[in-house]
Structure 1
Amino acid sequence: MNLFLNIIWIVFGGFAIAIEYIVSSVAMMCTIIGIPFGLQTLKLAAVALVPFGTKVLPSSPSNGCLNAILNVIWWFVGGIPIALTHVGFGLLFFITIVGIPFGVQHFKLARLALNPFGKTV
């Protein structure tokens, strides 16, 4: 079932979302300061390409303070607009019964878009 839902997701916008994340990741990695943020955007791209069956788990708490600081910086760099976009799409998908699983995946992406540091895909 996850394979079928992932195929539908990719055909109806998941591929475009993943490409946007990859392009923005490459743009962020052009500077040394942007490399950590570009790596987190690649994480978002991986989940955006195949969200069904993908688990997002907390990583080891060894650098928890650094993760918190980088997440706060990330909010201002682009995390809040990305999360609001996913929340908007999630609400749009919740209008129909068929779209509910896709809305749930957008909410999962919004949660990851707000706090990508300290998470493992």
Structure 2
Amino acid sequence: MRLILNVIWLVFGGLWLALGYVLAAVICFLLIVTIPFGFASLRIASYALWPFGRTIVDRPGAGSGALIGNVIWLLLCGIWLAIGHLVSAVAMAATIVGIPLALANLKLIPVSLVPLGKEIVPVHRPAPWAPPSATRN
């Protein structure tokens, strides 16, 4: 089911949203000072291409640098990308088939607003820094 949803997502909006993230990454790379934001944007672009079966978790140890970076990101790119997700979610929710796609768009809004200090991991696998008790056997 995830494969089918990912293919539908890719055709009906994921490609355009990922291109928005790639554009934001290119702008960040050109400004040189914002290169870390460019890498974060590329990470989210891959997530925007294939969101079903992956989730976002907090990265431990993200401190004040991530907080300051997230504020700068929010002002430069985050708000525009979040608006893109919201508009796309509203359009996709117009049909019954598009409701799961709209929910995926809404799931992308928090990471598009504050991407630093986040990690994108598969749903079936915990984050690499998770304690051994969190893994499934």
Do they fold alike, i.e. is TM over 0.5?
yes
- What does the per-residue CA deviation read over 1:30-76, in whole Å, with 9 as the maximum and x for residues that have no partner? 2320201101111110111101111111111x232111111111111
Structure 2 counterpart of 1:38: 38
Structure 2: gaps spanning 5 or more residues: 121-137
Q: Distance in 2 between matches of 1:78 and 1:25?
A: 9
Structure 1 counterpart of 2:86: 87
Q: How many residues align?
A: 120
Letter of the 1:17 counterpart: L
Q: Distance in 2 between matches of 1:113 and 1:80?
A: 8
More helix by share: 1
Q: Distance in 2 between matches of 1:63 and 1:54?
A: 21
Q: Distance in 2 between matches of 1:76 and 1:11?
A: 29
Task: Using the TM superposition, give the Cα deviation of residue 99 of structure 1 relative to its aligned residue in structure 2, in angstroms.
Answer: 0.9
Letter of the 2:49 counterpart: L
Structure 1 counterpart of 2:63: 64
Aligned ranges 1:1-121 → 2 under 5 Å: 1-60=1-60, 62-121=61-120
The farther-off stretch of 111-120 and 7-16 is 7-16
Tell me the TM-score normalised to structure 2 length.
Answer: 0.80
Q: Distance in 2 between matches of 1:116 and 1:93?
A: 24
Task: Using the TM superposition, give the Cα deviation of residue 12 of structure 1 relative to its aligned residue in structure 2, in angstroms.
Answer: 1.9
Q: Distance in 2 between matches of 1:75 and 1:24?
A: 12
Letter of the 1:95 counterpart: A
Q: CA RMSD in A?
A: 1.4
Letter of the 1:69 counterpart: I
